[in-house]
Protein backbone atom coordinates (compact mmCIF):
# COMPACT_ATOMS: atom_id res chain seq x y z
CA UNK A 1 0.00 0.00 0.00
CA UNK A 2 2.93 2.32 0.63
CA UNK A 3 4.81 1.17 -2.45
CA UNK A 4 5.63 3.66 -5.17
CA UNK A 5 2.76 3.75 -7.70
CA UNK A 6 3.75 2.23 -11.05
CA UNK A 7 2.89 5.37 -13.01
CA UNK A 8 5.60 7.38 -11.24
CA UNK A 9 8.94 7.86 -13.00
CA UNK A 10 11.88 8.48 -10.70
CA UNK A 11 13.05 10.75 -9.28
CA UNK A 12 9.77 12.39 -8.35
CA UNK A 13 8.26 13.91 -5.23
CA UNK A 14 5.25 12.17 -3.69
CA UNK A 15 2.91 13.57 -1.04
CA UNK A 16 0.84 11.07 0.99
CA UNK A 17 -2.50 12.82 1.29
CA UNK A 18 -3.74 11.08 4.43
CA UNK A 19 -0.52 11.77 6.35
CA UNK A 20 -0.53 15.39 5.18
CA UNK A 21 -4.08 15.92 6.41
CA UNK A 22 -3.28 14.26 9.74
CA UNK A 23 -0.24 16.52 10.23
CA UNK A 24 -2.27 19.63 9.41
CA UNK A 25 -4.98 18.67 11.86
CA UNK A 26 -2.58 17.65 14.65
CA UNK A 27 -0.70 20.97 14.70
CA UNK A 28 -3.95 22.93 14.45
CA UNK A 29 -5.42 21.03 17.40
CA UNK A 30 -2.27 21.34 19.53
CA UNK A 31 -2.12 25.12 19.10
CA UNK A 32 -5.89 25.56 19.50
CA UNK A 33 -5.61 23.75 22.82
CA UNK A 34 -2.94 26.24 23.93
CA UNK A 35 -4.90 29.25 22.75
CA UNK A 36 -2.23 30.18 20.18
CA UNK A 37 -3.05 31.32 16.67
CA UNK A 38 -1.48 29.30 13.85
CA UNK A 39 -0.05 31.17 10.86
CA UNK A 40 1.78 28.41 8.96
CA UNK A 41 4.80 29.23 6.84
CA UNK A 42 3.85 28.56 3.23
CA UNK A 43 7.47 28.65 1.98
CA UNK A 44 7.62 24.96 2.96
CA UNK A 45 5.04 23.78 0.43
CA UNK A 46 4.45 26.75 -1.94
CA UNK A 47 1.17 25.10 -2.96
CA UNK A 48 -2.26 26.78 -2.82
CA UNK A 49 -3.95 23.39 -2.28
CA UNK A 50 -2.04 22.89 0.97
CA UNK A 51 -2.57 26.48 2.11
CA UNK A 52 -6.30 25.98 1.62
CA UNK A 53 -6.23 22.88 3.81
CA UNK A 54 -4.32 24.75 6.54
CA UNK A 55 -6.79 27.63 6.48
CA UNK A 56 -9.74 25.21 6.55
CA UNK A 57 -8.20 23.62 9.66
CA UNK A 58 -8.21 26.97 11.43
CA UNK A 59 -5.03 28.84 10.47
CA UNK A 60 -5.59 32.61 10.83
CA UNK A 61 -3.53 33.44 7.74
CA UNK A 62 -0.29 32.53 6.01
CA UNK A 63 3.35 33.36 6.55
CA UNK A 64 5.59 33.81 3.51
CA UNK A 65 9.24 34.79 3.01
CA UNK A 66 9.10 37.03 -0.07
CA UNK A 67 6.85 39.48 -1.87
CA UNK A 68 6.75 37.01 -4.77
CA UNK A 69 5.36 34.23 -2.56
CA UNK A 70 2.81 36.67 -1.13
CA UNK A 71 1.69 37.56 -4.67
CA UNK A 72 1.17 33.92 -5.61
CA UNK A 73 -0.90 33.11 -2.52
CA UNK A 74 -2.91 36.34 -2.87
CA UNK A 75 -3.71 35.40 -6.48
CA UNK A 76 -5.03 32.13 -5.10
CA UNK A 77 -7.30 33.84 -2.61
CA UNK A 78 -5.24 34.32 0.56
CA UNK A 79 -6.52 37.37 2.44
CA UNK A 80 -4.12 37.64 5.39
CA UNK A 81 -0.38 37.45 4.71
CA UNK A 82 2.68 38.07 6.85
CA UNK A 83 5.98 38.47 4.99
CA UNK A 84 8.13 37.45 7.96
CA UNK A 85 11.31 38.92 6.54
CA UNK A 86 13.26 42.16 7.04
CA UNK A 87 12.45 43.46 3.56
CA UNK A 88 14.55 46.16 1.93
CA UNK A 89 12.00 48.13 -0.05
CA UNK A 90 12.87 50.18 -3.12
CA UNK A 91 10.47 51.71 -5.63
CA UNK A 92 9.59 48.44 -7.42
CA UNK A 93 9.05 46.52 -4.18
CA UNK A 94 6.88 49.38 -2.91
CA UNK A 95 4.70 49.25 -6.01
CA UNK A 96 4.20 45.50 -5.60
CA UNK A 97 3.38 45.85 -1.87
CA UNK A 98 0.87 48.59 -2.68
CA UNK A 99 -0.94 46.30 -5.13
CA UNK A 100 -0.79 43.41 -2.66
CA UNK A 101 -2.25 45.50 0.16
CA UNK A 102 -5.18 46.26 -2.15
CA UNK A 103 -6.22 42.59 -2.16
CA UNK A 104 -5.12 41.23 1.24
CA UNK A 105 -4.27 42.26 4.80
CA UNK A 106 -0.47 42.50 4.65
CA UNK A 107 2.17 42.64 7.37
CA UNK A 108 5.94 42.86 6.86
CA UNK A 109 8.97 42.52 9.08
CA UNK A 110 11.73 45.01 9.74
CA UNK A 111 14.78 45.06 11.99
CA UNK A 112 16.34 48.47 11.40
CA UNK A 113 15.58 52.18 11.48
CA UNK A 114 17.11 52.47 7.99
CA UNK A 115 14.91 49.79 6.40
CA UNK A 116 11.77 51.18 8.04
CA UNK A 117 12.55 54.68 6.82
CA UNK A 118 13.40 53.54 3.29
CA UNK A 119 10.18 51.53 3.14
CA UNK A 120 8.10 54.49 4.28
CA UNK A 121 9.80 56.79 1.77
CA UNK A 122 8.88 54.57 -1.17
CA UNK A 123 5.44 53.50 0.04
CA UNK A 124 4.23 56.97 0.99
CA UNK A 125 0.60 56.97 2.06
CA UNK A 126 0.29 53.25 1.29
CA UNK A 127 2.34 52.48 4.42
CA UNK A 128 -0.73 53.19 6.54
CA UNK A 129 -2.40 50.10 5.09
CA UNK A 130 0.47 47.77 6.03
CA UNK A 131 1.34 46.38 9.45
CA UNK A 132 4.92 46.13 10.66
CA UNK A 133 6.32 43.60 13.12
CA UNK A 134 9.79 44.28 14.49
CA UNK A 135 12.11 41.30 14.18
CA UNK A 136 13.77 40.20 17.42
CA UNK A 137 16.89 38.04 17.73
CA UNK A 138 15.97 35.38 20.27
CA UNK A 139 19.30 33.56 20.06
CA UNK A 140 19.65 32.47 16.43
CA UNK A 141 21.87 35.53 15.64
CA UNK A 142 20.71 35.87 12.06
CA UNK A 143 18.47 38.91 11.43
CA UNK A 144 16.58 40.65 14.25
CA UNK A 145 17.50 43.14 16.98
CA UNK A 146 17.90 42.63 20.71
CA UNK A 147 14.68 43.31 22.65
CA UNK A 148 16.14 46.58 24.01
CA UNK A 149 16.57 47.87 20.44
CA UNK A 150 12.98 47.15 19.40
CA UNK A 151 11.47 50.46 20.49
CA UNK A 152 13.81 52.50 18.29
CA UNK A 153 12.91 50.41 15.25
CA UNK A 154 9.20 50.54 16.08
CA UNK A 155 9.33 54.33 16.39
CA UNK A 156 11.02 54.60 12.99
CA UNK A 157 8.33 52.38 11.46
CA UNK A 158 5.55 54.41 13.06
CA UNK A 159 7.29 57.59 11.92
CA UNK A 160 7.37 56.20 8.38
CA UNK A 161 3.60 55.80 8.49
CA UNK A 162 3.19 52.09 9.28
CA UNK A 163 0.93 50.65 11.93
CA UNK A 164 3.28 48.81 14.31
CA UNK A 165 1.46 45.63 15.36
CA UNK A 166 4.10 43.91 17.44
CA UNK A 167 7.19 41.73 17.27
CA UNK A 168 8.31 38.43 15.76
CA UNK A 169 11.27 36.08 15.93
CA UNK A 170 12.51 32.87 14.39
CA UNK A 171 14.09 30.55 16.97
CA UNK A 172 16.24 28.83 14.35
CA UNK A 173 18.78 27.75 16.96
CA UNK A 174 16.16 25.16 17.94
CA UNK A 175 17.33 23.14 14.95
CA UNK A 176 19.87 21.09 16.87
CA UNK A 177 19.71 18.08 19.18
CA UNK A 178 18.36 18.94 22.66
CA UNK A 179 17.83 22.55 21.59
CA UNK A 180 14.09 22.84 20.81
CA UNK A 181 13.00 23.32 24.46
CA UNK A 182 15.82 25.73 25.24
CA UNK A 183 15.18 27.75 22.07
CA UNK A 184 11.45 27.89 22.85
CA UNK A 185 12.26 29.29 26.32
CA UNK A 186 14.61 31.92 24.93
CA UNK A 187 12.06 32.84 22.29
CA UNK A 188 9.41 33.41 24.93
CA UNK A 189 11.71 35.56 27.03
CA UNK A 190 12.94 37.67 24.12
CA UNK A 191 9.47 38.18 22.65
CA UNK A 192 8.00 38.90 26.09
CA UNK A 193 10.64 41.48 26.91
CA UNK A 194 10.35 43.21 23.50
CA UNK A 195 6.54 43.30 23.69
CA UNK A 196 6.72 44.75 27.19
CA UNK A 197 9.11 47.49 26.09
CA UNK A 198 6.92 48.34 23.10
CA UNK A 199 3.83 48.52 25.28
CA UNK A 200 5.67 50.72 27.78
CA UNK A 201 6.62 53.03 24.91
CA UNK A 202 2.95 53.42 24.04
CA UNK A 203 2.54 50.90 21.21
CA UNK A 204 -0.58 48.76 21.09
CA UNK A 205 0.93 45.29 20.76
CA UNK A 206 -1.55 42.92 19.14
CA UNK A 207 0.82 40.41 17.54
CA UNK A 208 3.66 38.53 19.19
CA UNK A 209 4.76 35.93 16.67
CA UNK A 210 7.18 33.07 17.08
CA UNK A 211 7.54 29.47 16.29
CA UNK A 212 9.09 26.94 14.01
CA UNK A 213 8.30 23.27 13.60
CA UNK A 214 10.76 22.05 16.28
CA UNK A 215 9.52 24.58 18.83
CA UNK A 216 5.87 25.17 17.88
CA UNK A 217 4.31 22.73 20.31
CA UNK A 218 6.70 23.85 23.06
CA UNK A 219 5.84 27.52 22.62
CA UNK A 220 5.04 29.30 25.88
CA UNK A 221 1.83 31.30 26.15
CA UNK A 222 2.97 34.08 28.46
CA UNK A 223 3.80 36.42 25.59
CA UNK A 224 3.30 34.73 22.21
CA UNK A 225 0.00 35.13 20.36
CA UNK A 226 0.79 33.25 17.13
CA UNK A 227 3.24 30.66 15.79
CA UNK A 228 4.57 30.09 12.28
CA UNK A 229 5.71 26.47 11.78
CA UNK A 230 6.17 25.32 8.19
CA UNK A 231 7.81 21.89 7.92
CA UNK A 232 5.19 20.14 10.11
CA UNK A 233 2.89 19.53 7.13
CA UNK A 234 5.35 17.08 5.60
CA UNK A 235 7.99 16.25 8.21
CA UNK A 236 11.53 15.52 7.02
CA UNK A 237 14.73 13.76 8.07
CA UNK A 238 15.81 16.76 10.16
CA UNK A 239 12.62 16.67 12.24
CA UNK A 240 12.98 12.90 12.50
CA UNK A 241 16.55 13.12 13.79
CA UNK A 242 15.57 15.95 16.16
CA UNK A 243 12.87 13.67 17.55
CA UNK A 244 10.09 16.05 16.51
CA UNK A 245 8.29 13.48 14.33
CA UNK A 246 8.32 9.76 13.53
CA UNK A 247 8.54 7.91 10.20
CA UNK A 248 4.75 7.52 10.34
CA UNK A 249 4.41 11.32 10.23
CA UNK A 250 6.45 11.72 7.03
CA UNK A 251 4.08 12.90 4.29
CA UNK A 252 6.62 13.69 1.58
CA UNK A 253 9.16 11.36 0.03
CA UNK A 254 11.24 11.25 -3.11
CA UNK A 255 10.67 8.16 -5.23
CA UNK A 256 14.05 6.85 -6.40
CA UNK A 257 15.47 3.91 -8.33
CA UNK A 258 18.56 1.83 -7.55
CA UNK A 259 20.75 2.56 -10.59
CA UNK A 260 24.08 1.20 -9.35
CA UNK A 261 24.83 -1.52 -6.80
CA UNK A 262 28.13 -2.69 -5.37
CA UNK A 263 28.79 -5.40 -2.80
CA UNK A 264 32.09 -3.68 -2.03
CA UNK A 265 35.57 -5.04 -1.49
CA UNK A 266 38.82 -4.15 0.28
CA UNK A 267 39.00 -0.68 -1.25
CA UNK A 268 35.41 0.23 -2.11
CA UNK A 269 32.38 0.44 0.17
CA UNK A 270 29.26 -1.73 0.06
CA UNK A 271 26.77 0.64 -1.48
CA UNK A 272 23.84 1.54 -3.66
CA UNK A 273 23.43 4.57 -5.86
CA UNK A 274 19.94 6.05 -6.20
CA UNK A 275 18.87 8.41 -8.98
CA UNK A 276 17.75 11.07 -6.46
CA UNK A 277 20.53 13.60 -5.94
CA UNK A 278 20.80 17.14 -4.65
CA UNK A 279 18.72 18.45 -7.57
CA UNK A 280 15.64 16.79 -6.09
CA UNK A 281 16.53 16.21 -2.41
CA UNK A 282 18.29 19.53 -1.81
CA UNK A 283 21.85 19.65 -0.49
CA UNK A 284 21.17 20.67 3.12
CA UNK A 285 23.05 18.73 5.76
CA UNK A 286 23.26 20.09 9.28
CA UNK A 287 26.40 19.22 11.25
CA UNK A 288 24.37 16.86 13.45
CA UNK A 289 22.53 15.07 10.62
CA UNK A 290 23.47 11.42 10.06
CA UNK A 291 23.46 11.80 6.29
CA UNK A 292 21.86 13.57 3.32
CA UNK A 293 18.39 12.17 3.97
CA UNK A 294 16.94 8.86 5.14
CA UNK A 295 15.39 5.84 3.46
CA UNK A 296 11.81 5.40 4.60
CA UNK A 297 11.83 1.61 4.67
CA UNK A 298 15.49 1.09 5.61
CA UNK A 299 16.18 3.20 8.69
CA UNK A 300 19.59 1.61 9.14
CA UNK A 301 20.97 2.75 5.75
CA UNK A 302 22.78 6.09 5.41
CA UNK A 303 23.13 8.48 2.46
CA UNK A 304 26.78 9.37 2.86
CA UNK A 305 27.30 11.37 -0.32
CA UNK A 306 25.09 13.34 -2.64
CA UNK A 307 25.84 14.52 -6.16
CA UNK A 308 23.36 16.29 -8.37
CA UNK A 309 21.81 13.07 -9.66
CA UNK A 310 23.27 10.40 -7.37
CA UNK A 311 22.67 9.51 -3.73
CA UNK A 312 25.34 7.12 -2.46
CA UNK A 313 23.81 4.87 0.20
CA UNK A 314 26.03 2.83 2.50
CA UNK A 315 24.34 -0.40 3.49
CA UNK A 316 24.83 -2.24 6.76
CA UNK A 317 26.69 -5.53 6.44
CA UNK A 318 23.83 -7.61 7.78
CA UNK A 319 21.03 -6.80 5.34
CA UNK A 320 20.73 -7.74 1.68
CA UNK A 321 21.41 -4.97 -0.79
CA UNK A 322 18.23 -4.09 -2.70
CA UNK A 323 18.28 -5.14 -6.35
CA UNK A 324 19.11 -2.94 -9.31
CA UNK A 325 15.93 -1.30 -10.55
CA UNK A 326 14.24 -1.53 -7.14
CA UNK A 327 12.39 1.65 -6.17
CA UNK A 328 12.90 3.18 -2.72
CA UNK A 329 11.43 6.17 -0.91
CA UNK A 330 13.85 8.82 0.33
CA UNK A 331 13.01 11.28 3.10
CA UNK A 332 14.79 14.58 2.32
CA UNK A 333 16.73 16.27 5.10
CA UNK A 334 14.99 19.61 4.61
CA UNK A 335 11.68 19.45 2.83
CA UNK A 336 11.37 23.19 2.04
CA UNK A 337 14.33 23.10 -0.33
CA UNK A 338 13.28 19.80 -1.91
CA UNK A 339 9.80 21.05 -2.85
CA UNK A 340 11.36 24.18 -4.40
CA UNK A 341 13.19 21.97 -6.92
CA UNK A 342 10.15 20.58 -8.73
CA UNK A 343 7.32 22.08 -10.76
CA UNK A 344 4.71 19.74 -9.34
CA UNK A 345 4.29 16.87 -6.89
CA UNK A 346 2.39 13.58 -7.17
CA UNK A 347 -0.40 13.35 -4.61
CA UNK A 348 -0.74 9.75 -3.45
CA UNK A 349 -3.48 7.99 -1.53
CA UNK A 350 -4.14 4.27 -1.10
CA UNK A 351 -1.11 3.47 -3.25
CA UNK A 352 -2.40 5.46 -6.23
CA UNK A 353 -1.60 8.88 -7.71
CA UNK A 354 -4.86 10.75 -7.12
CA UNK A 355 -3.74 14.20 -8.22
CA UNK A 356 -0.74 16.34 -9.20
CA UNK A 357 -0.33 19.72 -7.49
CA UNK A 358 1.70 22.54 -8.98
CA UNK A 359 4.36 24.13 -6.76
CA UNK A 360 2.90 27.51 -7.69
CA UNK A 361 5.36 29.67 -5.72
CA UNK A 362 8.47 27.69 -6.66
CA UNK A 363 11.46 29.93 -7.30
CA UNK A 364 9.69 33.12 -6.20
CA UNK A 365 12.79 34.37 -4.39
CA UNK A 366 12.23 38.10 -4.89
- Dihedral of CA 360/143/227/183: which sign? positive
Least distance (Å) between residue 86 CB and a copy of itself: 5
Q: How far is the CB of 277 from a copy of itself (least distance, A)?
A: 8
Of 273-292, which residues contact a copy of itself (CB under 8 A)? Answer: 273, 275, 278-280, 282-285
Q: Using the rule CB under 8 A, is 260 a contact of a copy of itself?
A: yes
Q: Tell me: does residue 181 bind a copy of itself (CB under 8 A).
A: no
Site for a copy of itself in 113-142 (CB under 8 A): 114-115, 118, 135, 137, 141-142
Query: Could you give the CA distance from residue 41 to residue 37 in angstroms, rounded to a whole number?
Result: 13
Q: Which of 47, 336, 347, 360 binds a copy of itself (CB under 8 A)?
A: 336
Residue 111 engages a copy of itself in binding (rule: CB under 8 A):
yes
Position 211 contacts a copy of itself (CB under 8 A): no
- Cα–Cα distance for residue pair 53/334, rounded to 1 Å: 21
Quick one: the chain helix, strand, coil %, rounded to 5? 35, 25, 40
Contact 254, 332 (CB under 8 A): yes
Query: Would you count residue 271 as binding a copy of itself (CB under 8 A)?
Result: yes
- Strand duo 302-306 + 344-349: pairing: unpaired
12 binds a copy of itself (CB under 8 A): yes
C-alpha count within 13 angstroms, C-beta hemisphere, residue 208:
27
Q: Which stretch, 27-35, 154-162, 231-239, 308-316, contacts a copy of itself (CB under 8 A)?
A: 308-316
Distance CA 29, CA 211 (A): 16
Cis geometry, peptide bond prior to residue 11 (ω within 30 degrees of 0): yes
Beta strand residue intervals within 183-251, DSSP E: 207-210, 226-227
Q: Should residue 43 be labelled a site residue for a copy of itself when binding is judged by CB under 8 A? A: yes
Tell me how many residues contact a copy of itself (CB under 8 A): 63
Alpha helices in the chain (DSSP H): 17-34, 48-56, 67-75, 91-101, 113-123, 150-159, 180-200, 237-241, 278-281, 335-339
- Helix pair 17-34, 48-56: axis angle to 10 deg: 40
Residue 186 phi, psi dihedral angles, 5° rounding:
-65, -40
| Residue 229 engages a copy of itself in binding (rule: CB under 8 A) | no
Instruction: Compute how many other C-beta atoms are within 10 angstroms of the C-beta atom of residue 120.
Output: 23
Considering only residues 308, 317, 318, 320, which one is a binding residue for a copy of itself as defined by CB under 8 A?
A: 308
Closer residue to a copy of itself (CB): 19 or 136: 136
Nearer residue to a copy of itself within complex by CB, 103 or 143: 143
Q: Identify residues 148-177 at the interface with a copy of itself (CB under 8 A).
A: 172
Write out the residues near a copy of itself by the rule CB under 8 A. Answer: 9-12, 43, 65-66, 85-88, 90, 92-93, 111-112, 114-115, 118, 135, 137, 141-144, 146, 172, 257-261, 268-269, 271, 273, 275, 278-280, 282-285, 305, 307-310, 312, 323-325, 334, 336-337, 340-343, 363, 365-366
Amino acid sequence: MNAIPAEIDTPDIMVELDVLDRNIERMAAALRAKGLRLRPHAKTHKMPEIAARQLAAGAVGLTVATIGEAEVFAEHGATDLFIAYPLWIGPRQAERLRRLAGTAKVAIGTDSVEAAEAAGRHLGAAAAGIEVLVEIDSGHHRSGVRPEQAVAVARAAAGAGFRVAGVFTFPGHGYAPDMPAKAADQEQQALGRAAELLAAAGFEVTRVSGGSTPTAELTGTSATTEVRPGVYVFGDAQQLELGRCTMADIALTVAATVVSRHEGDDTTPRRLVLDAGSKVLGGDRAAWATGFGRLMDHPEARITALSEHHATVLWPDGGDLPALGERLRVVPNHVCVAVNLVDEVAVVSGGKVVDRWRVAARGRNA
